């Protein structure tokens, strides 16, 4: 008989039992469930609601169960609807009447809310650590390739040369914002619902502030209805995961492109590549692709929870049982993908010469040539047109701006002098962008120091 079976004459059939159960997903929060129960029992005894002897028996019994779960020796019974019932039933079988007093002044509604909040906090903390590691590796890659020049793109067309380190640091800042979002999700979860009971509070003299303290929550939720029905913090977690996956996916897309023979900017290590079952020559960037692909399912997790919570009347509804899998999946997926990215970045080879060679193509010096004329007095708009015509001419001839003679340049404008060659060198072009946040070598060094200071 289920723990709630008193008012029932008939039992549910096997499939109904299975359909209604959440035991499988709940196993992910078994330790949190036991932490919550230990805090509740401790507080009940302090308040004189249960005896100290009962509390000791409960805490000892729960600690033993927690250890067995940790060690993998705990025997789960599929007849238990959820982790709350599995733990309480086992405890009561082992310690008798004291176990039956654990649930005094508590409902599974505030219990599950407590468990998920504790789990969400643990997941956020782990993800923040993973994010930190990823940012450190991005900073390392920037540091180790500080002056490597590559083409900068807009519309995936050559735009202006940039430093590869600058490009890596752009991702550093994206992941910094992700850390802020993960911290916000942590803070949202960091509130204690325990003591709300089923929905209305309870007649027992509970000390909610005490369980808040025992469980390490930073505050106590002030409304019992909200306490049992709020899952916003899981949306915050999933949103943070979704945005961070989006950032990983962008980086993966570049890794896929860069490792193609068309680009050849990087070479992935064998340990982060796979072969083909038919084409012997293949070396595929599967792990970058998989990460890009998994972004879709994390977006799905966020949408699923938004849809599940929509239109739910107050307070607890069984729909909320569906809220757990998505955030756990989103967090695990992001955690795994960050770890894969760390490994991929640590082991890839940067093909410096390839990047530099490409940086000089595609007329990426055109802006600087126009600036050359503008700095010598020609209105920038006019200079833009002059260089535009030179580019057109070069395209017809199949050459680059650097292939034009000084005489040819001077036909377009008398302002061109010998020193124009300096504006055609991609490394020089990047170096000259000295503004704060720009790609100039000194500006990037300052940026890197700023990035490292945030870690
Ligand atoms: N297994 C349930 C869940 O995950 C626990 C709460 C059940 N509460 C109830 N009133 N049926 O949401």
Residue 209 lies in a domain: no
Q: HSE on the CB side for 53, CA within 13 Å?
A: 4
R_g over Cα of the chain: 31
Q: Which residues pair with 338 in a beta bridge?
A: none
- Domain holding 51, by residue range, is 5-104
CA 53 to ligand 1 center in whole angstroms: 29
Kindly list the distances between the CA atom of residue 228 and the CA atoms of 41, 111, 197, 213, 322, in Å, as whole numbers in the listed order: 19, 9, 8, 19, 14
Say if ligand 1 is within 6 A of residue 37 CB. no
- Do 311 and 239 belong to one domain? yes
Q: How confident is the model at residue 81 (pLDDT cuts 50, 70, 90)?
A: very high
- Binning pLDDT at 50, 70 and 90, where does residue 37 land? very high
Closest CA to 269 of 347, 166, 335, 216: 347
Ligand 1 pocket member 320 (CB < 6 A): yes
The SS3 call for residue 199 is coil
| Residue where one domain finishes, among candidates 70, 104, 138 | 104
User: How remote is the CA of residue 268 from the centroid of ligand 1, in Å?
Assistant: 47
Cα angle at 200 between 10 and 317, to 5 degrees?
50
Does residue 237 form part of some domain?
A: yes
Whether 109 lines ligand 1, by a CB cut-off of 6 Å, is yes
CA-nearest residue for atom 10, ligand 1, is 109
Q: What is the pLDDT of residue 4?
A: 81
Q: Specify whether the CB–CB gap between 447 and 170 falls below 8 A.
A: no
DSSP 82-105: SHHHHHHHHHHHHHTHHHHHTTTT
Does residue 29 belong to any structural domain of this protein?
yes
Domain count, the chain: 3
Q: Ligand 1 mean position to 166 CA, how many Å?
A: 50
Check residue 6 and give its pLDDT.
Answer: 83
The mean pLDDT of 22-32, rounded to a whole number, is 98
CA distance 427 to 436: 18
Same domain, 260 and 278: yes
Question: At 265, which helix (H) or strand (E)?
Answer: none
Residue 276 among the catalytic residues: yes
Residue 78: give its domain's CATH number: 1.10.275.10
Residue 79: predicted pLDDT: 93
Least confident of 68-77, 268-277, 395-404: 268-277
DSSP 310: T
Over range 306-324, report the average pLDDT.
97
| Residues 444, 308 share a domain | no
Query: How many residues does the structure list for the chain?
Result: 455
Is residue 223, in this structure, part of any structural domain at all? no
Given the residues 51, 218, 276, 389, the one annotated as active site: 276
Q: Which residue has the CA at smallest separation from atom 2 of ligand 1?
A: 321
Coil, strand, or helix at residue 150?
strand
Asked if 99 and 91 count as a contact pair (C-beta separation under 8 A), the reply is yes
Assess whether the C-beta atom of 114 lies below 6 angstroms from ligand 1: no
For residue 347, tell me if it sits in a domain: yes
Do 186 and 243 reside in the same domain of the chain? yes
Q: Is 112 in the pocket of ligand 1 (CB under 6 A)?
A: yes
Q: To test the ligand 1 pocket, which listed residue (82, 309, 327) has its Cβ within 8 A of the most ligand atoms?
A: 82
Pocket flag, ligand 1, residue 308 (CB < 6 Å): no
What digits encode the pLDDT tens for the residues 204-225?
999 999 999 999 999 999 999 9
Same-domain pairing of 144 and 281: yes
Where is the domain boundary, 44, 79, 104? 104
Asked whether residue 304 falls in the same domain as residue 165, the answer is: yes
Exactly one of 155, 261, 271, 311 is catalytic; name it. 155
In this structure, are residues 165 and 117 in contact, taking their beta carbons and an 8 Å threshold? no
My answer on whether 433 and 349 are in the same domain is no
Does 240 share its domain with 338? yes
Q: 305 and 176 in one domain?
A: yes
Q: What average pLDDT does the segment 417-428 reach? A: 94
- Interval between CA 81 and ligand 1 midpoint (Å): 9
Q: Cβ(329)–Cβ(297) under 8 Å?
A: yes
Candidate from 20, 24, 109 with most ligand 1 atoms within 8 A of CB, to mutate: 109
User: E-assigned strands of 321-440?
Assistant: 349-350
Q: Is residue 206 part of a domain?
A: no
- Asked if 363 and 398 touch (Cβ cutoff 8 Å), the reply is no
- Neighbour-count burial of 204, counting CB atoms closer than 10 A to its CB (0-12 exposed, 13-18 middle, 19+ buried): middle
> How far is residue 205's CA from residue 442's CA, in Å, rounded to a whole number?
65
Distance 62 CA to ligand 1 centre (A): 20
CATH number at residue 280: 1.20.200.10
Q: Dihedrals φ, ψ of 49, to 5°?
A: -80, -40
Q: Determine whether the shortest distance from the Cβ of 108 to ligand 1 is under 6 A.
A: yes
Half-sphere exposure of 204 (CA within 13 A, CB side): 24
| Ligand 1 lined by 22 (C-beta under 6 Å) | yes
Residue 21 CA, closest ligand 1 atom number: 1
Please indicate, yes or no, whether residues 117 and 181 belong to a single structural domain of this protein.
Answer: yes
Q: Is the pLDDT of residue 151 over 80?
A: yes
Helices (H), 260-361: 286-309, 325-347, 352-359
Domain-located, residue 221: no
In the DSSP assignment, the letter for residue 337 is H
Structure confidence at residue 77 (pLDDT): 96
pLDDT at 276: 83
Residue nearest to atom 4 of ligand 1 (CA): 321
How far is the C-alpha of 214 from the C-alpha of 173, rounded, in Å?
A: 36
What mean pLDDT is reported for the chain? 96
363 with 343, same domain?
no
Q: What is the pLDDT of residue 274?
A: 87
Q: State whether the Cα torsion 445-449-451-452 is positive or negative.
A: positive
pLDDT at 281 over 90: no
> What CATH number is attached to the domain comprising 391?
1.10.40.30
Domain end, chosen from 54, 69, 104, is at: 104
Percentages (nearest 5) of helix, strand, coil residues in the chain? 65, 5, 30
* Ligand 1 neighbour 316 (Cβ under 6 A): yes
Res. 8 pLDDT band, cuts 50 70 90: confident
> Does 295 share its domain with 390?
no
Contacts of 265 (CB under 8 A, 6+ apart): 150, 258, 259, 350, 351, 354, 355, 358
Mean pLDDT of 339-346: 98
- Residue 212 domain-assigned? no
């Amino acid at each position: 008989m289920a723990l709630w079976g008193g008012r029932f004459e008939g039992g549910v059939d096997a499939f109904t039992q299975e359909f209604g159960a959440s035991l499988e997903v709940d196993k992910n929060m078994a330790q949190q469930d036991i932490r919550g129960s230990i805090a509740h029992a401790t507080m009940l005894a302090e308040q004189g609601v249960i005896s100290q002897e009962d509390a000791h028996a409960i805490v000892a019994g729960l600690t033993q169960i927690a250890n067995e779960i940790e060690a993998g020796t705990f025997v789960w019974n599929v007849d238990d609807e959820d982790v709350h019932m599995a733990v309480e039933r086992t405890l009561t079988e082992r310690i008798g009447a004291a176990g039956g007093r654990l649930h005094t002044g508590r409902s599974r509604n505030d219990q599950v809310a407590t468990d998920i909040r504790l789990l969400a906090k643990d997941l956020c903390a782990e993800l923040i650590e993973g994010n930190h590691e990823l940012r450190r590796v991005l900073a390392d890659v920037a540091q180790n390739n500080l002056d490597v020049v590559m083409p900068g793109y807009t519309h995936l067309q050559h735009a202006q040369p940039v430093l590869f380190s600058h490009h890596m640091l752009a991702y550093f800042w994206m992941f910094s914002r992700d850390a802020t979002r993960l911290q916000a999700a942590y803070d949202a979860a960091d509130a204690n619902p325990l003591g709300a009971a089923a929905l209305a509070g309870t007649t027992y003299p509970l000390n909610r502030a005490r369980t808040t303290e025992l469980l390490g929550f930073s505050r106590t939720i002030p409304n019992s209805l909200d306490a049992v029905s709020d899952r916003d913090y899981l949306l915050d977690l999933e949103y943070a995961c979704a945005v961070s996956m989006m950032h990983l996916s962008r980086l993966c897309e570049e890794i896929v492109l860069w490792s193609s023979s068309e680009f050849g900017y990087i070479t992935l290590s064998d340990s982060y590549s796979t072969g083909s079952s038919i084409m012997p020559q293949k070396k595929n960037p599967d792990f970058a692709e998989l990460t890009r692909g998994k972004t879709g399912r994390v977006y799905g997790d966020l949408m699923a929870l938004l849809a599940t919570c929509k239109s739910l009347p107050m307070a607890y509804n069984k729909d909320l049982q569906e809220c757990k899998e998505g955030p756990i999946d989103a967090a695990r997926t992001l955690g795994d993908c960050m770890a894969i990215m760390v490994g991929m970045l640590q082991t890839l080879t940067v093909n410096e010469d390839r990047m530099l060679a490409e940086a000089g193509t595609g007329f990426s010096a055109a802006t600087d040539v126009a600036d050359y004329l503008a700095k010598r007095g020609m209105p920038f708009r006019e200079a833009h047109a002059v260089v535009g015509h030179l580019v057109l001419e070069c395209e017809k001839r199949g050459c680059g701006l650097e292939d034009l003679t000084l005489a040819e340049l001077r036909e377009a404008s008398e302002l061109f002098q010998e020193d124009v060659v300096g504006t055609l060198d991609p490394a020089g072009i990047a170096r000259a962008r000295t503004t704060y946040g720009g790609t100039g070598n000194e500006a990037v060094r300052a940026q890197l120091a700023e990035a490292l200071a945030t870690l």
